[in-house]
């Protein structure tokens, strides 16, 4: 079977930067899946994309489907012939196959012998299959928002202008979005605007590069990174390359050219975060740091043209950024004319959630919760209360209204200016930590208390009005809030009772329609987040289930148990003891045991049960101080020594003895064994 490269390119008006790579990948997957469904072989499929094009190249694509052997089954042999002559059934089947009866074969099956016919069906040419495959792939693209252009009723993300489909050197006739496929592409809008005829699909990337277009998305991204780093080095600075910004800039250019501009040093009086937000959000600039990691009055912009006079491009960007930074300076100066505390009343005019009141209401609830937590963790209650009072005040400042990503950061700046205690000021930023799973948790006790209070208030409030997250909707980011609470308690090593905290938080709300069962609902939801946490840690789900089955209310304790059980599960004894505990659980459930663990040693008859009883007593004495100190790994190491006595017990002892007293005593012995392990986790779950 011959093969060649397939190239598909859809030329469009400039696409939204964030949509380019997902659309290109979806087009690649749609074509690859369509070809795979048609059983056409190929080696690899690659997506290419720029703001003006979505392209896919499929390497070593077979020129047709493989031939298939088709088998048709006709009438049963007994009905196909009578007295050695073919019946009408046999003749009709032969005619339907286009052959004579003599050309038919016998098919042996488990239900008898049948008349049949086998033939080779030639595979269809790939070029004949491609138009339909392409249409399906384009129609299935995850376009964020469609638009129509001209007088056409066709819809796509942006107006489509050209379509290329080449198989090797041959054009594959097809029509998509009102465009006829050809071999004509376009280069850079300004550097090479003329039509370009592609001789072969393999020429695509090289031809476009000669026309000032880097169509390889990854290569263009890396080119931008290299240029930005090189520009920074020339300017004796360090470029801060944020991956999200790099992706966005990559989606804005076809031929990147990095240039360095500058701004007035007077703007450095404004907090660096404000200037950086303005440069990134408005102009897509990369900022520069000096040797002391301080912001330099310079930036790197990535142009989409290779200008003969780059200084004009630089000056144009400097002219654009100047009023942006002036706005940031104006907002900063305006905000500093009043204290954070003076903005507290304004919070009563900002709705947090219609059923849960205003931001002012939330701040007052956080004040009570934060003070309680601060006292429990040995923090300063007064600092916690003050931080809660000021926590949301920066949300009504000019700077945060313009740059919402600066919430908390500006609160810290303004609180320091107002002379608030440093720990209070720092907590205003720390309340939003951690922002993601691997982020740092607050470093100050006031920050820990405030971050917990904020999330606990939101969780109990939103659950309390019946807006639990669904599979696709989580408008208040409750999953992130729950994981944030767990991370704070675990990484901060705060051994707090989560149920107690939730009860306190729920009590601060005046009225919650879903108050019945609320605490159990929220607590269960939060502890269920441990499942994802254990998976991220590379821990088997059975370990999570073994701990989740116990009434553990302290996340720090939960995490310690999970790590201990995970370590135990790697031991040689784990499987046997898990199996034994599973057996014990089944026996006790079947016999409806009353839960008694009191063993009468006078009723012990077999040596194996006496040995087990003595071993359990020794383990009880050894593990109790370990359990009290939450040294679960060491406790399980001790319990692992029970494997021998447990195995011997089940080998030598009949639990269901005829004597009722002996039987009850042996059940109590097993209940004792089970209870000892349940002090840590239900290790019977490990058998799953």
Predicted confidence (pLDDT) per residue in 186-231, tens digit: 999 999 999 999 999 999 999 999 999 999 999 999 999 999 999 9
Residue 236, Cα to own-chain centre: how many angstroms?
38
Look at residue 595 in the predicted model and tell me its pLDDT. 67
Mark out the alpha helices in 391-477 (DSSP H runs): 398-402, 409-417, 422-430, 445-464
pLDDT < 50 stretches in the chain = none
CA distance 652 to 202: 75
Total domains present in the chain:
5
Look at residue 559 in the predicted model and tell me its pLDDT. 92
**357 within 8 A of 347, measured Cβ to Cβ:** no
The answer as to whether 260 is a domain residue is yes
Look at residue 288 in the predicted model and tell me its pLDDT. 97
The answer to whether residues 444 and 303 belong to one domain is no
**Structural tokens at position 516:** 């019945």
The answer to whether residues 603 and 679 belong to one domain is yes
Look at residue 661 in the predicted model and tell me its pLDDT. 81
The answer as to whether 534 is a domain residue is no
Residues 6+ apart with CB under 8 A from 400: 394, 406, 407, 410
CA distance 408 to 280: 19
Look at residue 1 in the predicted model and tell me its pLDDT. 67
Domain end point (choices 311, 335, 359):
335
Domain end point (choices 483, 510, 528):
528
CATH of the domain at 514: 1.10.3210
Closest C-alpha among 499, 507, 513 to residue 462:
513
The answer as to whether 604 is a domain residue is yes
Domain end point (choices 57, 90, 121):
121
The answer as to whether 548 is a domain residue is no
Residues 6+ apart with CB under 8 A from 560: 630, 632
The answer as to whether 555 is a domain residue is no
The answer to whether residues 361 and 499 belong to one domain is yes
The DSSP element (H or E) to which 28 belongs, if any, is: helix 17-37
CATH of the domain at 658: 1.10.730.10
The answer as to whether 417 is a domain residue is yes
Percent of the chain with pLDDT over 70: 99
Total number of residues shown for the chain: 688
The answer to whether residues 479 and 345 belong to one domain is yes
The answer as to whether 383 is a domain residue is yes
The answer to whether residues 116 and 145 belong to one domain is no
The answer to whether residues 114 and 141 belong to one domain is no
The answer to whether residues 277 and 196 belong to one domain is no
Question: 361 is in which domain, residue-wise?
Answer: 341-528
The answer to whether residues 233 and 197 belong to one domain is no
The answer to whether residues 571 and 676 belong to one domain is yes
**Structural tokens at position 182:** 């050809």
The answer to whether residues 326 and 381 belong to one domain is no
- Total Cβ atoms within 10 A of residue 118: 12
The answer to whether residues 34 and 73 belong to one domain is no
Residues 6+ apart with CB under 8 A from 179: 10, 160, 161, 162, 163
**Structural tokens at position 578:** 């898990």
Question: Cis before residue 434, ω within 30 degrees of 0?
Answer: yes
The answer to whether residues 54 and 88 belong to one domain is no
**Structural tokens at position 627:** 């359990």
The answer as to whether 633 is a domain residue is yes
User: What is the tens place of the pLDDT at every residue in 552-590?
Assistant: 899 999 999 999 999 988 888 888 888 888 887 888 777
Look at residue 688 in the predicted model and tell me its pLDDT. 62
């Amino acid at each position: 079977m011959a093969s060649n490269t397939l190239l598909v390119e859809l030329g469009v008006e400039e696409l939204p930067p964030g949509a380019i790579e997902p659309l290109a990948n979806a087009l690649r997957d749609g074509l690859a899946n369509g070809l795979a469904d048609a059983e056409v072989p190929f080696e690899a499929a690659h997506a290419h994309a720029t703001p003006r094009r979505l392209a896919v190249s499929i390497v070593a694509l077979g020129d047709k489907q493989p031939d298939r052997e088709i088998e048709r089954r006709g009438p049963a042999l007994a009905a196909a012939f009578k007295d050695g002559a073919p019946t009408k059934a046999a003749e009709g089947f032969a005619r339907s196959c286009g052959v004579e009866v003599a050309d038919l074969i016998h098919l042996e099956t488990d239900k008898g012998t049948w008349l049949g016919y086998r033939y080779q069906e030639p595979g269809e040419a790939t070029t004949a299959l491609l138009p339909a495959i392409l249409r399906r792939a384009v129609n299935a693209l995850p376009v964020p928002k469609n638009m129509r252009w001209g007088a056409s009723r066709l819809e796509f993300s942006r107006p489509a202008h050209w379509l290329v489909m080449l198989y090797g050197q041959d054009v594959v006739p097809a029509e998509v979005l009102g465009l006829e496929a050809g071999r004509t592409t376009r280069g850079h809008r300004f550097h090479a605007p003329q039509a370009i005829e592609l001789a072969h699909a393999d020429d695509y990337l090289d031809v476009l590069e000669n026309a000032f277009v880097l169509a390889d998305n990854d290569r263009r991204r890396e080119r931008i990174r290299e240029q930005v780093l090189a520009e920074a080095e020339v300017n004796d600075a360090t470029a801060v390359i944020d991956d999200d910004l790099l992706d966005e800039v990559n989606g804005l250019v076809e031929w990147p050219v990095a240039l360095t501009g500058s701004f007035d040093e007077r703007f450095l009086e404004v907090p660096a975060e404000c200037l950086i937000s303005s440069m990134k959000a408005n102009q897509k600039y990369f900022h520069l740091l000096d040797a002391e990691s301080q912001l330099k009055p310079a930036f790197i912009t990535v142009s989409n043209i290779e200008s003969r006079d780059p200084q004009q491009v630089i000056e144009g960007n400097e002219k654009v950024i100047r009023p942006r930074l002036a706005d940031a300076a104006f907002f900063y100066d305006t905000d500093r004319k009043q204290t954070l505390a003076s903005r507290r009343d304004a919070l009563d005019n900002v709705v947090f959630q219609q059923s849960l009141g205003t931001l002012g209401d939330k701040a007052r609830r956080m004040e009570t919760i934060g003070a309680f937590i601060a006292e429990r963790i040995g923090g300063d209650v007064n600092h916690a209360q003050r931080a809660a009072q000021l926590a949301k005040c920066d949300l009504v400042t000019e700077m945060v209204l313009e740059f919402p990503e600066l919430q908390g950061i500006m609160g810290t700046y303004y609180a320091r200016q107002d002379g608030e205690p440093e720990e209070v000021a720092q907590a205003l930023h720390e309340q939003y930590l951690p922002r993601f799973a691997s982020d740092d948790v607050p470093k100050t006790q006031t920050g820990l208390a405030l971050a917990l209070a904020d999330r606990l208030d939101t969780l109990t409030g939103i659950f309390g009005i019946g807006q639990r997250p669904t599979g696709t909707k989580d408008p208040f980011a409750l999953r992130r809030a729950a994981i944030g609470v767990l991370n704070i308690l675990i990484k901060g090593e705060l051994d707090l009772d989560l149920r107690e905290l939730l009860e306190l938080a729920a009590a601060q709300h005046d009225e919650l329609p879903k108050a019945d069962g609320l605490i159990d609902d929220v607590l269960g939801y939060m502890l269920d987040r441990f499942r994802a946490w254990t998976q991220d840690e590379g821990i088997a789900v059975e370990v999570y289930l073994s701990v989740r089955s116990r009434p553990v209310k302290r996340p720090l304790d939960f995490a310690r148990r999970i790590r201990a059980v995970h370590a135990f599960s790697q031991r040689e004894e784990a499987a046997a003891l898990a199996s034994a505990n599973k057996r014990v659980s089944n026996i006790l459930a079947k016999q409806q045991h009353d839960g008694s663990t009191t063993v009468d040693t006078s009723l012990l008859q077999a040596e194996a049960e006496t040995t087990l009883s003595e071993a359990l007593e020794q383990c009880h004495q050894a593990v109790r101080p370990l359990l009290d100190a939450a040294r679960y790994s060491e406790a399980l190491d001790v319990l692992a020594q029970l494997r021998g006595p447990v195995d011997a017990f089940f080998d030598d002892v009949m639990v269901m003895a005829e004597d009722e007293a002996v039987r009850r005593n042996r059940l109590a012995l097993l209940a004792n064994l089970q209870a000892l392990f349940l002090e840590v986790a239900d290790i019977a779950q490990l058998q799953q």
